């Protein structure tokens, strides 16, 4: 199977590395000095909890030509960059397109590529890119599927990830999954901006972390009341005390350890444009469905100069 990973940030590099190490025919689309670095010295990834830096000699291209044929293209770009590649994807002959990452406009994106088989995915991978390497935590878990009214892609997904070390969660309703994901990560992003990226300032602030959970619950409630599913299903009981306790333990861990920097604040501080757009669009969804979200709005205001 011939695969293109379109985008060489942290997520794209980890995806390309993992597929390449599983023997897949992978090409990575990168740009500028980063493309030259990978061509010259290989794709170097330092996993946070490993003393080793992996080096992968993955083929690199800097553009997608119309006649370049792949079995699947993974588009791993920031949310704000997706519109800029739609014309390129339309003119390319590849049928299967997978958008990986934050997205609250999955249905509109699929509609913009009517001749394609459009999938969506979210990978549990985070970190930052340095001039000569990626430093990351990569859990090798990916949730992937299509819109709820589209044909199943379970067989295709199985072919893509066979022989890899990925734990693959097939999700036939990625539209609602991604809406819910945004409702979870945006309140966490507010906390990153409140602390100028230093989440350790919040490690003992249980009151503030409780408000982060309140904002998440407001978002989930708005999504449910608009007729959408709460996904993953483990979050369906989001108004319970058990859910609150689980979230509080998670956020305390994030704030007390380096996990907060690698898994949350690195991305939030380096992708302010993406988080701002994600926030604007999910608030538009709330407003269109008549939702109330006062805690969300208060945390947003406290995030200060970052969001726009």
In this structure, are residues 33 and 19 in contact, taking their beta carbons and an 8 Å threshold? no
Residues 6+ apart with CB under 8 A from 9: 76, 77, 78, 129
Q: How far apart are CA 235 and CA 244, in angstroms?
A: 10
What is the model's pLDDT at position 200? 95
pLDDT in tens, 22-40: 999 999 999 999 999 999 9
pLDDT digits (tens, 9 = 90+) for 72-98: 999 999 999 999 999 999 999 999 999
Tokens standing for residue 41: 């010295």
d(CA 97, CA 76): 11
What's the average model confidence in pLDDT over 280-299? 97
pTM of the complete model beyond 0.85: yes
Identify the pLDDT of residue 257. 87
Pairing state of beta strands 53-56 and 43-47? antiparallel
Q: For residue 266, what pLDDT is reported?
A: 86
Write the pLDDT tens digit of every residue in 123-147: 999 888 999 999 999 999 999 999 9
pLDDT over threshold 90, residue 263? no
């Amino acid at each position: 199977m011939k695969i293109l990973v379109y985008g060489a940030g942290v997520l794209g590099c980890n995806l390309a590395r993992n597929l390449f190490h599983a023997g897949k025919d992978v090409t990575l689309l990168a740009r500028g000095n980063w493309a030259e670095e990978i061509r010259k010295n290989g794709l170097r990834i330092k996993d946070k909890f490993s003393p080793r830096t992996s080096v992968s000699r993955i083929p690199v291209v800097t553009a997608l030509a119309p006649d370049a044929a792949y079995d699947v293209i993974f588009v791993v770009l920031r949310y704000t960059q997706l519109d800029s590649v739609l014309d390129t994807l339309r003119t390319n002959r590849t049928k299967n397109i997978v958008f990986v990452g934050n997205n609250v406009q999955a249905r509109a994106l699929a509609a913009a590529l009517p001749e394609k088989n459009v999938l969506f995915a979210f990978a549990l991978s985070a970190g930052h890119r340095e001039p000569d390497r990626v430093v990351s935590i990569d859990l090798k878990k990916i949730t992937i599927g299509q819109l709820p009214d589209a044909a199943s892609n379970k067989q295709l997904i199985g072919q893509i990830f066979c022989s890899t070390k990925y734990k693959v969660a097939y999700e036939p309703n990625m539209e609602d999954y991604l809406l819910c994901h945004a409702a979870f990560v945006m309140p966490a992003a507010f906390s990153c901006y409140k602390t100028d990226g230093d989440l350790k300032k919040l490690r003992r602030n249980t009151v503030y972390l409780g408000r982060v959970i309140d904002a998440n619950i407001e978002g989930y409630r708005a999504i449910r009341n608009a007729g959408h599913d709460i996904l993953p299903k483990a979050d369906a009981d989001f108004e319970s005390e058990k859910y609150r306790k689980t979230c509080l333990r998670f956020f305390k861990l994030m704030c007390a350890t380096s996990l907060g920097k690698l898994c949350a604040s690195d991305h939030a501080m380096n992708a302010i444009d993406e988080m701002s757009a994600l926030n604007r669009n999910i608030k538009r969804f709330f407003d269109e469905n008549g939702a109330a979200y006062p805690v969300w709005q208060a945390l947003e205001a406290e995030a200060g100069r970052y969001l726009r």
